[in-house]
Amino acid sequence: MSKTKLATVWLDGCSGCHMSFLDMDERLLDLSSQFDLVFSPLVDFKVYPDSVDVALVEGAISSVEDERKIHHIREHTKFLVAMGDCAVAGNVPAMRNPFGTAAILKRAYTENVSAQPQIPCVIVPELLEKVRPVHEFVAVDMYIPGCPPSADTFFTVLTELLAGRTPDVGSLTRFGA
Ligand code: SF4
């Protein structure tokens, strides 16, 4: 039987969800015989594969680059999971929404900077006016709330998904957990 092709994606999040994912520790090694990690910040693949079975997406959609990425990921993924409160609801990244991008950029890159204050305009992706959760851009198949979801939650969810079952996520975690 072929292994499940698993991806994890890091958009606008703090990486705390990935840290919690890694906190499965030895249990992650036990599960690893059932999947191939084909794309992730945890491995060194640069290109998202054409066909991924399950993708865990951390972070909200904050920039034009995030928006491009999430559409590409959705197009090439069978089962897309919003991982953590930022992906599910915007959470911390969306705290900038009431202020607008111009004020945020000014505050971060000029008002709080003493050496060479300037707003970056090359390489740094253009920000969207509002940070929004993943489901406002693409269809999401499962939500795992939590900031971050616990390692126990990840272990149960991954175990069930790899077995072809649907976990009862609501019994495992909640927004802000
Ligand atoms: S949900 Fe919490 S832990 Fe996960 S990326 Fe967002 S802020 Fe970080």
- How large a percentage of the chain has pLDDT more than 70? 99
Nearest residue CA, atom 6 of ligand 1? 86
Is the pLDDT confidence value at 123 over 80? yes
Distances in Å between the alpha carbon of 34 and those of 37, 51, 94, 146?
10, 17, 35, 25
What is the pLDDT at residue 112? 87
> What is the whole-number distance in angstroms between the Cα of residue 177 and the centre of ligand 1?
11
Atom of ligand 1 nearest to the CA of 15: 5
Q: Please write the tens of the pLDDT for every residue from 142-165.
A: 999 999 999 999 999 999 999 999
Report which residue type is found at 12. D
Instruction: Collect all residues with Cβ–Cβ distance below 8 Å to 57 and sequence separation of at least 6.
Output: 8, 9, 11, 70, 73, 80, 81, 82, 83, 87, 134
Is 117:125 a contact under the CB 8 Å cutoff? no
Atom of ligand 1 nearest to the CA of 59: 5
Is 45:164 a contact under the CB 8 Å cutoff? no
If you average pLDDT over residues 28-34, what whole number do you get?
Answer: 95
Say yes or no: CB of residue 23 within 6 Å of ligand 1. Answer: no
What is the pLDDT at residue 1? 67
Q: What is the mean pLDDT of the chain?
A: 96
